[in-house]
Amino acid sequence: MKRILSFVLLAALFLVGCATTATPISTPEPRSLTVFAAASLTDAFTEIGGDFEAVNPGVTVTFNFAGSQALRTQIEEGAPADVFASANKTEMDNAIKASFIAENAPQNFLSNKLVIILPADSAGTVAKPEDLANPGIKIVLAAEDVPVGKYARQALDTMSGSFGSDFKDKVLANVVSNEDNVKQVVAKIQLGEADAGIVYTSDAVAAPELKTIDIPAELNVIAKYPIAKLTQSPNADLADAFIAYVLSPDGQAVLQKWGFAAPQ
């Protein structure tokens, strides 16, 4: 009997010892990552941000979506950011020149192309790209300093070779509004405030109620989006991890779901 009691006592002491030396379960310390991203990335990056948070407990991703030119200006004026995702190389290069991005840091993470969008109840006044030059057509574009606005004007230059040397001038004469970012162009068309707009394919995917007209590949423009960590990021490790996630198969799958193409 004494042996049994001794054994029970030793077993109890052993269990108590294990309990006192076991590693307690701890909650990860909350951390935040701030991403400045082109407006066209709103839907895809919002989803990617949620996925990134799910695999990184304690991390909160905060996005600032706007035209790339506006984001670059905000960064130069001191707005805190960890990652910059631009819709063109120009604004990334400007950030590099201002020493906010290391020269070898940017990586292209997707490509995009242009499409013509029409209101859901379009009367058919615009049925093909060359109709954009018809008198009386109301067109909305992004401003010329906005990446998609610059791409649209490049495409119009190319179209002029097929539709007449004055095609671009005629189209620009039909422009009733120049917007600060691509989402504002989409909003104007959704509200029926114009007959047509030129946006990225990804924006048309995000607004499936709108009608679209494809721009032939030989007349279209391929937009290449770079992403990079800011040199003064206070969360450099998280910034690197987020960029790696965007470039991963999981991140690329989300981007392609929203109408973006693989990087070129």
Residue 15: pLDDT over 80: no
Let me know: does 105 contact 85? Beta carbons within 8 Å: no
Separation of alpha carbons 147 and 97, rounded Å: 18
Residue 31's contacts (CB-CB under 8 Å, 6 or more residues apart) are 58, 59, 60, 235, 238
The residue-averaged pLDDT of 62-70 equals: 98
Same domain, 187 and 239: no
Residue 4: pLDDT over 80: no
Confidence of residue 27 (pLDDT cuts 50, 70, 90): low
Residue 23: pLDDT over 50: no
DSSP element (H, E) containing 150: helix 147-163
pLDDT digits (tens, 9 = 90+) for 210-231: 999 999 999 999 999 999 999 9
Same domain, 71 and 201: no
Mean pLDDT (the chain, rounded): 92
Same domain, 57 and 128: no
CATH no. for residue 181? 3.40.190.10
Residue 176: pLDDT over 70: yes
Helices 89-97 and 147-163: crossing angle in degrees, nearest 10, is 140
The residue-averaged pLDDT of 59-72 equals: 98
Cα–Cα distances in Å, from 45 out to 15, 36, 37, 63, 68? Answer: 49, 10, 8, 8, 15
Same domain, 229 and 104: yes
Strand partners, 35: 63, 83
Same domain, 199 and 249: no
Let me know: does 44 contact 109? Beta carbons within 8 Å: no
Tokens encoding 160: 């002029």
Same domain, 134 and 106: no
pLDDT digits (tens, 9 = 90+) for 124-164: 999 999 999 999 999 999 999 999 999 999 999 999 999 99
What total number of domains does the chain contain? 2
Q: Residue 129's domain spans which residues?
A: 112-222
Residue 22: pLDDT over 90: no
First to last CA, the chain: 80
pTM score, two decimals?
0.87
Same domain, 125 and 146: yes
Strand partners, 259: none
Residue 147 inside a domain? The answer is yes
Same domain, 144 and 184: yes
Where are the strands (E) in the chain, listed by range? 31-38, 59-66, 83-85, 107-118, 139-142, 175-179, 196-200, 211-214, 222-229
- What pLDDT does 218 receive? 97
- What pLDDT does 28 receive? 73
- What pLDDT does 29 receive? 85
Same domain, 154 and 97: no
Separation of alpha carbons 139 and 185, rounded Å: 10
Let me know: does 170 contact 226? Beta carbons within 8 Å: no
Residue 15 inside a domain? The answer is no
Rounded percentage of the chain residues whose pLDDT exceeds 70:
90
Same domain, 132 and 171: yes
Residue 91 inside a domain? The answer is yes
Same domain, 92 and 118: no
Residue 18 inside a domain? The answer is no
Beta-strand pair 83-85/222-229: antiparallel
Residue 139 inside a domain? The answer is yes
Residue 117 inside a domain? The answer is yes
What's the residue count for the chain?
A: 264
Residue 1 inside a domain? The answer is no
Cα–Cα distances in Å, from 72 out to 63, 134, 237? Answer: 14, 36, 22
Residue 6 inside a domain? The answer is no
Same domain, 38 and 49: yes
Q: What is the DSSP letter of 111?
A: E
pLDDT digits (tens, 9 = 90+) for 87-123: 999 999 999 999 999 999 999 999 999 999 999 999 8
Confidence of residue 48 (pLDDT cuts 50, 70, 90): very high
